[in-house]
Structure 1
Amino acid sequence: MEKLTKNKDKIVFKTDMSLSLANALRRSANEIPILAIEEIDIYKNDSALYDDFLAHRIGLIPLKNQKLKEGDVIEMKLSVKADGKMKEVLAKDLNGEVAYENIPIVLIDKDQEVEIVAKAKQGKATEHAKYSPGLLSYRHFNKVEVGKEAEKSQELSILHPEVFSFEGGKLKVKNDWALDIATDDLEEFKGVKVTPTAEIVYTIESWGQIDAADIFLESVKALNKNLDLVLKELK
């Protein structure tokens, strides 16, 4: 396994794991307990949005994950009034740990008010998409080589700057793992050779509730747990 890029919200690595294992890990992310808003009581809504629209938008705001006991509920309150001028209601106005504070919820005009109480609990993405921790995807790794015929071609570095660079008057491969387009698109460029390999590029992107690295670790734990249950049933 080779780490290609890593930060709090995204990890990309190259690996020779089988496609079946890669897919099993992807699906196992749906087994991670994630905190999300389950119920909303609207006490006042002067905005242009209907109550159900407002509830839907608030319900999909990602919250920072917490370890809770089964059945535990976290209550959050939002009370905003536009005094004197139009005001944008943001996720940070929820009295709770939101993943991204500046997610817009609704605009309210002068003297309008929004007051709600939201209740959050932990659940799994197998129940609802709001409990999804992020996006896991994978694709085959293609090795890219630049021959003499393509060395003077600057066009590819402009079209695909994440893959190619043009330095010292020559076209060079910067990050061949970043090539996520159909290889047929490069056939018109003579001198560029793309060779499919058995390795895959695995990408994990977090919605913000937990770090991307934790999504991978928790997916492995969830997969192992399910495999243990299968083995137990087979004995």
Structure 2
Amino acid sequence: MSPLFLMVVAERREENAEGVYRTMKIAKIKGKGSMLQLQLSDTNDWYVNVVRRLILSDVPTIAIEIVEIQKNDSILYDEVLSHRLGLVPLTTDLKSYRLPSAEEIQTQEYLAQSSCKFTLEAKGPCIVYAKDLKSKDPKVKPAFPDMPLTKLLEGQEIRLEATAVMGVGRTHAKWSPGHTFYRRIPEITIKSSNLACAQVCPTGTLADKGGKLQVTDEKTCILCMACVDVDSGKSVDVKPGTDFLLHVESYGQLESAEIVEKAIEVFNVQLKEFDQLVKQAE
């Protein structure tokens, strides 16, 4: 995990009942490919939920917004083909690109810092894939090259130009960088070794260890409460804990850790802007 990620997270501090500030702790549980799972400690529901919402709605990515079709002989209508192109995830370089200004959006004349041009030319018979999109910037390309767009028969042809523009998920879901959710890590207390609780546990959180009921990993519990229902909670007590599990799955535009970093960075900027507005109103 990058130093920036740890540094930004460390800015989240909360004053407890004793008037002592505490810093949110974070641990990487899983992180392979597009998947990321983080354990968050010393925080609360509202902050984790804010991060979740910002990931979905305010982390910028680039996606095709304008399509100029010169020729389309495929079975797909121009509107349907354009819609499919808009939903193709494109790798995004946040250092080189920025969100367009209000004037750019109004005139639909986007600058090089906020947009990237693509061309597509294909003749049948063939299947047209996302990798057939030719980008003016090698850093911006389809995240999944083998994603099919349409099929061309003998004599059919497609020629078009497309403009990918930076945007955010609150404007359209095609700019959303990934899927995310969170849940509390439960606290599980074993009162008696009723092995029937292990038999009904769907995730293996409870297991039979030498004739004794034991907890293998609280983080795998999905709060289905099947173990409690065995004997109305006489053997096992399950209640929400104080730590959280944050799951992030990237759609391919950005790395999962980069998505979380950017979401927290956006939140910090929004808090500073809000603080300035409050001071101006005083």
User: Which residue does 2:66 correspond to in 1?
Assistant: 39
Q: Where do residues 66-77 of structure 1 align in structure 2 (5 Å cutoff)?
A: 66=93, 67-68=96-97, 70=100, 71-72=111-112, 73-77=115-119
Taking structure 2 as the reference length, what is the TM-score of the superposition?
0.71
Moved more, 13-22 or 220-229: 13-22
How far the C-alpha of 1:160 sits from its partner, in A, is: 3.0
Q: Which runs of 5+ in 2 are unaligned?
A: 1-25, 101-110, 136-140
Percent identity, aligned pairs only, is: 28
Q: Does 1:78 align with 2:100?
A: no
Which of 149, 164, 167 is the matching residue for 2:194?
Answer: 149
Q: Could you say if the C-alpha distance between residues 174 and 61 of structure 1 is closer, same or farther in structure 2, counting changes exceeding 3 Å?
A: farther
- TM-score normalised to the size of structure 1? 0.83
**Do residues 213 (structure 1) and 257 (structure 2) align?**
yes
**1:4 lines up with 2:29 in the alignment:** yes
For residues 170-229 of structure 1, what are the alpha-carbon distances to aligned partners after superposition, in whole Å with 9 as ceiling and x for unaligned?
88655431333x423443446555332122211111111110101111111101101111
Report the counterpart of residue 8 of structure 2 in structure 1.
Answer: none
Q: 1:80 to 1:165 in 2, by over 3 A?
A: farther
| Aligned CA distance change for structure 1 residues 228 and 153 (closer, same or farther; 3 Å) | closer
1:1-235 equivalences in 2 (<5 Å): 1-16=26-41, 17-29=43-55, 30-66=57-93, 67-68=96-97, 70=100, 71-72=111-112, 73-83=115-125, 87-96=126-135, 97-144=141-188, 148-150=193-195, 156=201, 159-160=202-203, 163=205, 173-180=215-222, 182-189=223-230, 193-235=237-279
For 1:60 and 1:120, locate their aligned partners in 2 and report how far apart those are by CA, in whole Å. 11
CA distance 1:6–1:165, change in 2 (3 Å): farther
CA distance in 2, matches of 1:127, 1:95: 26
Question: CA 1:168–1:117 in 2, change beyond 3 Å: closer, same or farther?
Answer: farther
Query: Structure 1 residues 75, 183: CA separation in 2 closer, same or farther (over 3 Å shift)?
Result: same
Q: Hey, what's the Cα distance between the residues in 1 that align with 2:34 and 2:217?
A: 20
Task: Measure the CA separation in 1 of the matches of 2:85 and 2:225.
Answer: 43
**Higher RCO structure (Cα 8 Å, ≥6 apart):** 1
Aligned length: 228
How much is the aligned-residue C-alpha RMSD, in angstroms? 2.6
Mark the runs of 5 or more structure 1 residues left unpaired by the alignment: none
Does the residue aligned with 2:74 lie in a helix, a strand or coil?
Answer: coil
Q: Which amino acid in the other structure matches residue 228 of structure 1?
A: K
How far apart, CA to CA, are the structure 2 residues paired with 1:193 and 1:109? Answer: 63
